[in-house]
Structure 1
Amino acid sequence: MDYSIRTIRADEWERTREIRLAALQDPVAHLAFLDTYEAAVERPDAFWQERAEGASESGGGSVRQFVAEAPDGSWAGTITLLVERPSDEVRFGEAAKVEQTHIVGVYVRPGARGSGVIDALFRAGVEWSWTLSEPPVARVRLYVHEENARAAAFYRRFGFVATGERVPVPGSETAQELEYELLRPAAG
């Protein structure tokens, strides 16, 4: 794999916006994201600047966005993790019962799929999660639309397990998101 995995920098807000807009134009975006291209493209520059700052290494630690960067500097994929603590306000799904991170915003450009980019992004995100120690993160979770079989298959291959928890998809009367988790390995 010829990609380096790294955290975004605060000044990369335009690139952060570009990859998000590309993700929202993907044919399965309606299954993968709780956002639309039409809504995202209308957001002002200040929104994207704040988003990049908050998800960068200098952003304070409750959000981290990783990218897979090709040798030419282009971004092939991205993953974002949100730190969730039992005392936090609920963002999506059930309230955190333990210290955890929540994976969102997973996207790999079509030309980079099958190259190992998604595995590398997930390794970086999970490894970062396990470095959080005040207090330590007990699990990494994510939600996947019940019809997004491709994503669910990858999550299981990576080691995530369905918890049995389901939440309704906002704006739908019938669709559900399924929760998957990866527990912190036992020390030993």
Structure 2
Amino acid sequence: MNYKVRSIRAEEWRAVKALRLVSLQDPVAHLAFLETYEQAAAHPDSFWQERAAGSAEGAVETQQIIAEGPDGEWVGTLTVLMEESGGTDWAGFPVERKQGHVVAVFVRPDHRGIGLTEVLVDAGIEWAWAQGAERVRLIVHEDNGRAQRLYRKVGFEPTGVTVPLAQAPGETQLEFALERE
């Protein structure tokens, strides 16, 4: 595989924005992301600059990891958020121990099926372990079978925790987690 997987750099905010906008145009984006293309496109440049700086190489609370194709094009990404014990997560649930939370997983369709998503997820897990996480988790829409199969393949298991979607009443997301051995 001729791909380079690495953390972003703060000055790459334009590429962060471009790949996010591509991801939000994916046919299953409504199942995978809590933001629409229109919402993301409306953010000012300062939003993207701050987002990139806060998740760039060397950051300890959030890390965005990308995959560069053989020609240098960004073809995949994911972000890991660190959640501290004693706090609450984005959905208001208590965080019982330090954990990484994988979000915003995306690989361009023409680069899927070659194991690249697994490599990105592995990189995210390793980053979380390096930050002292005791577990890594993610939330996946109940109807996103493709993502659920991928996460099971790389070792995540459903925890039984469900998260209702405020923007889509009646729909839920499922928590999957990987425990540190």
TM-score range, shorter chain: over 0.9
Aligned to 1:111: 110
1:95 shift after superposition: 2.1
1:143 aligns with 2:142: no
Aligned to 2:41: 41
1:154 aligns with 2:153: no
Identity %: 48
1:95 aligns with 2:94: yes
Deviating above 6 A after TM superposition, structure 1's stretches of 4 or more consecutive aligned residues are: none
Task: Please show how residues 1-188 of structure 1 align to structure 2 within 5 Å.
Answer: 1-58=1-58, 60-92=59-91, 94-132=93-131, 136-185=132-181
1:10 shift after superposition: 0.1
Q: Is the 8 A contact 2:86 2:97 kept in 1?
A: no
Q: Secondary structure at the match of 2:67?
A: strand
Between the two proteins, the alignment pairs up a number of residues equal to: 181
Q: Secondary structure at the match of 1:137?
A: coil
1:155 shift after superposition: 0.4
**Structure 1: tracts of 5 or more residues without a match:** none
Q: Is the 8 A contact 1:9 1:56 kept in 2?
A: yes
**Structure 2: tracts of 5 or more residues without a match:** none
Whole-Å separation in 2 of the counterparts to 1:2 and 1:20: 22
1:94 shift after superposition: 2.1
1:32 shift after superposition: 0.2
Taking structure 2 as the reference length, what is the TM-score of the superposition? 0.97
Whole-Å separation in 1 of the counterparts to 2:123 and 2:112: 17
Taking structure 1 as the reference length, what is the TM-score of the superposition? 0.93
